[in-house]
Amino acid sequence: MNAQTHIPLRRTKIVATLGPASDREGVLEAMLKAGVDVVRLNFSHGTPDDHRQRLLRVREIAAKLGRSVAALGDLQGPKIRIARFKEGMVTLKEGQPFVLDMAMDSDVGDVHQVGCDYKTLAQDVGAGDRLLLDDGRVVLDVTRVEGQQVHTHVVVGGKLSNHKGINKQGGGLSAPALTDKDKQDLKTAVEIGVDYLAISFPRHAEDMLEARRLLGEEGKEIGLVAKVERAEAVADEATLDGIIEASEAVMVARGDLGVEIGDAKLVGVQKRMIKRARSLNRAVITATQMMESMISAPLPTRAEVFDVANAVLDSSDAVMLSAETAAGDYPVETVEAMARVCLGAEREKVAQESGHRIHEGFTRPDETIALSAMYAANHMTGVAAIACMTASGYTPLIASRIRSGLPIVGLAHNPIAQRRMALYRGVVSLPFDTSEMSATELNRRALELLVQHKLAEPGEHVILTRGDHMNAHGGTNTMKVMTIDQPTD
Comparing CA positions, the residue from 234, 314, 225, 303 lying closest to residue 266 is 234
Choice among 286, 288, 465, 476 that is catalytic: 288
**Is there a contact between 92 and 160 (Cβ–Cβ < 8 Å)?**
yes
187 among known catalytic residues: no
- Of the candidates 11, 13, 40, 254, the residue annotated as catalytic is 40
Q: Is 52 a catalytic residue?
A: no
The closest alpha carbon to 414, from 436, 389, 449, belongs to: 389
Q: What contacts 324, CB < 8 A, 6 or more positions away?
A: 16, 17, 290, 291, 292, 294, 295, 330, 331, 334
| β-strand partners of 133 | 138, 166
**Cα(246)–Cα(261) distance, integer angstroms:** 23
Other CB atoms within 10 A of residue 423 CB: 28
| Amino acid of residue 203 | R
- Angstrom CA distances, 392 to 21, 37, 103, 342, 410, stand at 34, 18, 51, 27, 10
Task: Please answer whether residues 226 and 202 qualify as being in contact, where contact means their C-beta atoms are separated by less than 8 angstroms.
Answer: yes
* Beta strands per DSSP E along 208-265: 223-228, 249-253
For residue 403, which of 368, 342, 352 has the smallest C-alpha distance?
Answer: 352
Distance CA 261, CA 229 (A): 9
Residue of 227, 282, 401, 466 with catalytic role: 227
Q: Is 288 a catalytic residue?
A: yes
Q: Which of 10, 67, 81, 340 is catalytic?
A: 81
Q: Is 444 a catalytic residue?
A: no
Residue of 249, 199, 204 whose CA lies nearest to 227: 199
Which positions are catalytic?
40, 81, 227, 288
